[in-house]
Structure 1
Amino acid sequence: MSSTESPDTGAVPVVPPTRSSRVSPGEVLRTVALPGVTLTVRARPPVRAGLAPALFVHGLGGSSQNWSELMDRLADTVDGEALDLPGFGDAPPPEDGDYSITAYARAVIRHLDSSGRGPVHLFGNSMGGAVATRVAAVRPDLVRTLTLVSPALPELRPQRTAVPTGLLAVPGVVSLFARMTKEWTAERRTREVLALCYGDPARVTPEGFALAVAEYERRLELPYFWDVMARSARGIVDAYTLGGQHSLWRQAEKVLAPTLLVYGVRDQLVSIRMARRASKAFRDSRLLTLLEAGHVAMMEDPDTVARAFRELLADTATTPTPERSAPPRG
């Protein structure tokens, strides 16, 4: 893509279904009904009482289980919950059919307001990183710290490997792809996605691969699977084109929370070039670059990501934070 082309043809990052929808050991799953949307919340009870709450938001094509490994590593540090956004994982589509970044951010805010868990340590990957950025910008009172793993922030010149994924947002392309790949097995689909999202797909164990295949088979049976993918991809591209105060980069500049940015050098969907721009945009940020990781560092190297988050907590515990107030509600 040349620099003169419009960003509405940009790439749309996705994340892989690396496990089945069943609950992992030590986790509990519950359904949360909110106005217009139903969320599924995956929680890992903390090892002791009194830990600060954390909320994890997945990306396009992912689910709350994308965070299971990291939540496990941080069970002694935070009281963690991960969401299935409307239309993903075990959560049904939203009633109004709105799959925009703003709609997802609104769902996260409603959940935090209704649960009373805020302010939280907020995590987001890929599309979930864009959602988390918007939440932190418009409701700073709900966010203690912000951790973004390969956030899907507007990129005018995506790398070639990301362009085919961006075509998901073009009307008719998803249905065409579904027809063209009708004979593909779930095993082939899973291998394609893992090769795109992991810096080294060999990190996925045989057991993990089998679970991912089972999850893909389950998703393909959902009548709304392809429609959700298409509409959510379009929502990301729409967010990329917004200007002014609604621009994701402008909102990144408004974030007050201490921010940890995590990028993989081998990421084929979000260019490592964006790490420098993000570091400049978020006013109180630190950058973790992982040489062997791809698009889902929290799944590829959860130990390193967990260690970096603990370092963020240790440093911010002794640093005064700016005053945060909730905006007036209409």
Structure 2
Amino acid sequence: MSSTESPDTSTAAALPVPPAGPGARTGGVEAVRSVPLPGLTLTVRASAGTPGERDGAEPDGGRARERALYVHGLGGSSQNWSALMPLLADRVDGEALDLPGFGTSPPPDDGNYSVSAQARAVIRYLDASGRGPVHLFGNSLGGAVSTRVAAVRPDLVRTLTLISPALPELRPQLTAMPTALLAVPGITRLFGRLTQDWTPEQRTREVLALCYGDPGRITPEGFNSAVDEFARRLELPYFWEVMERSTRGLVNAYTLGGQHNLWRQAERVLAPTLLVYGGRDRLVSYRMARRAAAAFRGSRLLTLPEAGHVAMMEYPETVARAFRELLDSRPAGPTGITADAGRS
């Protein structure tokens, strides 16, 4: 694996993951519904497909369709997966959820935004819906959440795909430090006051510059969609509180030891795993790819030198192709794959 230097970028963004899905190619109308569960309500977005496929029917020669669940990152939403889900709709019946407090899911009743609490929300949904075992996808914070789900409930996870997972780093990148500072009590409110004159366009542009390896790949339509979603989020009375508590929950997860340590839990994962890392990721270091490949047994490693933090939005075709290979081959040991992302 060759090392790639991250170019300088502004670090004043409020969200480490885009709130919507710039450049999404949905290929059809997504079905969105609200799912009430004990102590929380989740918004769930289903990939385009026939109603029978979304309801778990058996349209293909009597064989039940395999299912996938997609979990977004800190500050993101189910819309972050709208470019990838339709590319896999012929193989898996996909759903993406808004974690509590994000997207259009309201805050949880107990106000708990720890990684463990978010993992419990995913587990509650899978148990209540009877959709498991699923092909579980996670990006950033969603990668940490999905790792915990796969470790504690292996019966619910068929395969695991992690895109720039937020696993503990001893030496975080400097460009990730402003995001970590959001965990400090009062910082988010201070940031809100200092940037109160910023337009949604300015905020969105900062976020995309932080998350994309090449922001020039974002379409005008995708940018406008992200701006609209960011503006809606800023009107929510709990927006800054959710960001502060969720960031603190992630930072706290980095400090846990023993069996609750995320790296220890990665070693417990039994499901075949695909790891995706971007060479221009400013939030999760590219150098963590090899450590992750060693921690997750039987893993496959896809490195995208030109990608940033959200490869499923930047290069969805490449990620989809790697997942199909995971389904078809299920390798016994770690395998390195380096893709020329510019071909996607």
Normalised by the size of structure 1, how large is the TM-score? Answer: 0.90
Write the distance in 2 (CA, Å) between the matches of 1:19 and 1:274: 25
Q: Contact 1:46 / 1:78 at 8 angstroms: preserved in 2?
A: no
Query: Is 2:261 the counterpart of 1:259?
Result: no
Write the distance in 1 (CA, Å) between the matches of 2:122 and 2:327: 22
Write the distance in 1 (CA, Å) between the matches of 2:254 and 2:305: 27
Matching residue of 1:30 = 33
1:152 to 141, 153, 166: 166
1:59 Cα deviation after fit: 0.6
Q: Deviations over 1:62-108 (max 9, x none)?
A: 00000011001111110000000100001000000000000000010
Query: Is 2:299 the counterpart of 1:297?
Result: no
* Percentage of pairs with the same residue: 73
The structure-2 alpha-carbon separation of the partners of 1:207 and 1:13, relative to structure 1 and needing over 3 Å to count, comes to: closer
The structure-2 alpha-carbon separation of the partners of 1:250 and 1:13, relative to structure 1 and needing over 3 Å to count, comes to: farther
Higher mean displacement: 161-170 or 114-123: 161-170
Matching residue of 2:73 = 59
1:291 Cα deviation after fit: 1.1
Matching residue of 2:251 = 237
Write the distance in 2 (CA, Å) between the matches of 1:15 and 1:284: 28
Write the distance in 1 (CA, Å) between the matches of 2:265 and 2:20: 31
Write the distance in 1 (CA, Å) between the matches of 2:67 and 2:49: 9
2:20 to 18, 28, 31: 18
Structure 1 counterpart of 2:74, which letter? Answer: L
Query: Is 2:47 the counterpart of 1:44?
Result: yes
Query: Is 2:85 the counterpart of 1:71?
Result: yes
Q: Contact 1:13 / 1:162 at 8 angstroms: preserved in 2?
A: no
Report matched runs for 1:188-267 at 5 Å. 188-267=202-281
2:154 to 122, 140, 149: 140
Write the distance in 1 (CA, Å) between the matches of 2:145 and 2:166: 9
Matching residue of 2:320 = 306
Write the distance in 2 (CA, Å) between the matches of 1:15 and 1:214: 15
Write the distance in 2 (CA, Å) between the matches of 1:247 and 1:78: 31
Write the distance in 2 (CA, Å) between the matches of 1:118 and 1:46: 19
Report matched runs for 1:72-111 at 5 Å. 72-111=86-125
Write the distance in 1 (CA, Å) between the matches of 2:156 and 2:16: 26
Write the distance in 2 (CA, Å) between the matches of 1:45 and 1:19: 16
- The runs of 5 or more residues in structure 2 that have no matched partner are 1-13, 54-58, 333-344
2:180 to 157, 162, 166: 166
Write the distance in 2 (CA, Å) between the matches of 1:262 and 1:13: 21
Write the distance in 1 (CA, Å) between the matches of 2:15 and 2:193: 22
- The runs of 5 or more residues in structure 1 that have no matched partner are 1-11, 320-330
Write the distance in 2 (CA, Å) between the matches of 1:95 and 1:250: 30
Structure 1 counterpart of 2:18, which letter? Answer: P
1:160 Cα deviation after fit: 1.1
Partner of 2:123, secondary structure, is helix
Structure 1 counterpart of 2:196, which letter? Answer: K
Q: Contact 2:21 / 2:83 at 8 angstroms: preserved in 1?
A: no
1:19 Cα deviation after fit: 4.2
Q: Contact 1:61 / 1:229 at 8 angstroms: preserved in 2?
A: yes
Write the distance in 2 (CA, Å) between the matches of 1:304 and 1:156: 30
Structure 2 counterpart of 1:35, which letter? Answer: P
Structure 1 counterpart of 2:123, which letter? Answer: I
Write the distance in 1 (CA, Å) between the matches of 2:287 and 2:65: 35
Structure 1 counterpart of 2:218, which letter? Answer: V
Partner of 2:185, secondary structure, is coil
Q: Contact 2:20 / 2:77 at 8 angstroms: preserved in 1?
A: no
1:134 Cα deviation after fit: 0.2
RMSD between aligned residues? 1.8
Write the distance in 1 (CA, Å) between the matches of 2:15 and 2:305: 19
Matching residue of 1:283 = 297
**Structure 1 stretches of 4+ moved >6 Å:** none
